[in-house]
């Protein structure tokens, strides 16, 4: 199958693996900041194909994982309002808040519906004119344009019962925050899906300012191995720059139409990242023109959120300081059936990836 078989060619993968053995004497750490990459790395057993000199670490690439407890608590508070329907992507529903989760509230009778697109949520609003429909907007630049399209349609079609609770975030500020943190990063495996929208130019400041290598990467084993080879080559030759390995889907300037829609509807704000803290200009909120669809403003939600479970090290995992195997809860009291932290909930979370593919290492 085109774009699948040729990128899962075992012979090519093992040739790259052999070539990477020449880097065994190095000590370099490469961070992926995409949940899809985290899952693919463990699914295909990529760490087992690398020399000891190359270490892969996971960053805050899972949008569900970095969504704050406060955001979950606000969504739960909204679900308790009689005439409100909550619409959400499925992987958010099991994320624990301070006391409960959307899944548990749904089981108690709250009208919480899983949708596969913002337009599906919009159709629910059209079919329930006597209800207020709130869509929980999570994700990076990949999903933000879809939320923007829904808000534009609501505005243009004068729909008055649809609202967005935004936890949308953007990648460059958190990548810069990580470079100013204590974790050692020599290169970034840059997110593929995000980059289809943004293009690769958004990462230019990383090699220019920090001398850190960057490669925008696809999701198949050959993609990942080739990108690691490209990063190692940049580092060895002291030629840090931004390269595109995922050229079948990503260009330097990205998707201009999607960017225009996103920029029309959203503006940046300071936002809180679970495990990292507040990062300036890293979140997206609706612009003044669209404020009447902002659930946070319309419903004036106020909640008192508690801190994370102190035994959970999800925050350190998201910062690349520790791995799931360092957590005392991992695989014991914390599992996909009973997640204690957000990193075990989403299929793109580091803990979920480690747990599912732990026998592949």
For 191-235, what is each residue's pLDDT tens digit? 999 999 999 999 999 999 999 999 999 999 999 999 999 999 999
* Lowest-pLDDT range of 9-13, 50-54, 198-202, 230-234: 9-13
Domain with 158 in it: what CATH number?
Answer: 3.40.50.11740
Domain assignment of residue 125, yes or no? yes
Range of the domain at 291: 64-170+254-298
CB 227 within 8 A of CB 202: no
Question: Which of 319, 346, 352 lies closest to 174, judged by CA?
Answer: 319
* Cα–Cα distance list, 272 to 35, 112, 154, 221, 225 (Å): 18, 24, 27, 33, 33
Query: pTM for the complete prediction?
Result: 0.92
Give the whole-angstrom CA distance, residue 114 versus residue 12.
40
| Number of domain units in the chain | 1
Summarize the confidence of residues 297-317 as an average pLDDT: 86
Domain assignment of residue 36, yes or no? no
Domain assignment of residue 303, yes or no? no
Domain assignment of residue 318, yes or no? no
Domain assignment of residue 94, yes or no? yes
Give the whole-angstrom CA distance, residue 102 versus residue 104.
5
CB 47 within 8 A of CB 257: no
For 154-184, what is each residue's pLDDT tens digit? 999 999 999 999 999 999 999 999 999 989 9
For 334-358, what is each residue's pLDDT tens digit? 998 888 888 998 888 999 999 998 8
């Amino acid at each position: 199958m085109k774009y699948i078989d040729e990128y899962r060619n075992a012979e090519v993968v093992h040739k790259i693996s052999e070539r990477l053995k020449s880097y065994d004497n190095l000590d370099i750490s490469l961070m992926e900041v995409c949940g899809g990459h985290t899952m693919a790395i463990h699914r295909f057993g990529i760490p087992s194909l690398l020399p000891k000199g190359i270490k892969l670490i996971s960053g805050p690439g899972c949008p569900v994982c970095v969504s704050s407890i406060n955001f979950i608590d606000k969504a739960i508070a909204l679900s308790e309002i009689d005439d409100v329907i909550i619409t959400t992507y499925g992987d958010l529903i099991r994320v624990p808040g301070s006391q409960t989760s959307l899944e548990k509230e749904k089981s108690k009778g709250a009208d919480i519906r899983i949708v596969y697109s913002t337009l599906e949520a919009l159709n629910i609003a059209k079919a329930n004119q006597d209800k207020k429909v709130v869509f929980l907007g999570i994700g990076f630049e990949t999903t933000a344009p879809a939320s923007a399209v829904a808000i534009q349609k609501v505005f243009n079609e004068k729909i008055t019962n649809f609202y967005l609770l935004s936890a949308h975030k953007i990648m460059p500020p958190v990548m810069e925050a990580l470079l100013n943190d204590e974790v050692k990063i020599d290169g970034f495996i840059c997110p593929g899906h995000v980059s289809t929208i943004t293009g690769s130019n958004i990462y230019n400041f990383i090699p220019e300012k920090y001398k850190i290598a960057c490669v925008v990467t696809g999701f198949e084993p050959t993609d990942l191995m080739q990108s690691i080879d490209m990063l190692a080559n940049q580092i060895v030759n002291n030629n840090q720059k931004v390269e595109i390995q995922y050229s079948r889907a990503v260009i330097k300037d990205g998707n201009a139409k999607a960017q225009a829609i996103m920029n029309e509807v959203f503006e940046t704000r300071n936002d809180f990242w679970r495990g990292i803290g507040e990062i300036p200009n890293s979140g997206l909120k609706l612009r003044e023109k669209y404020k009447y669809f902002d659930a946070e403003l319309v419903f004036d939600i106020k909640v008192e959120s508690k801190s994370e479970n102190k035994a959970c090290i999800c925050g350190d995992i998201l910062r690349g300081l520790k791995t799931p195997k360092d957590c005392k809860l991992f695989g014991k009291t914390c599992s996909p059936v009973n997640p204690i932290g957000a990193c075990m909930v989403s299929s793109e979370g580091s803990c979920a990836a480690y747990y599912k593919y732990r026998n592949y290492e």
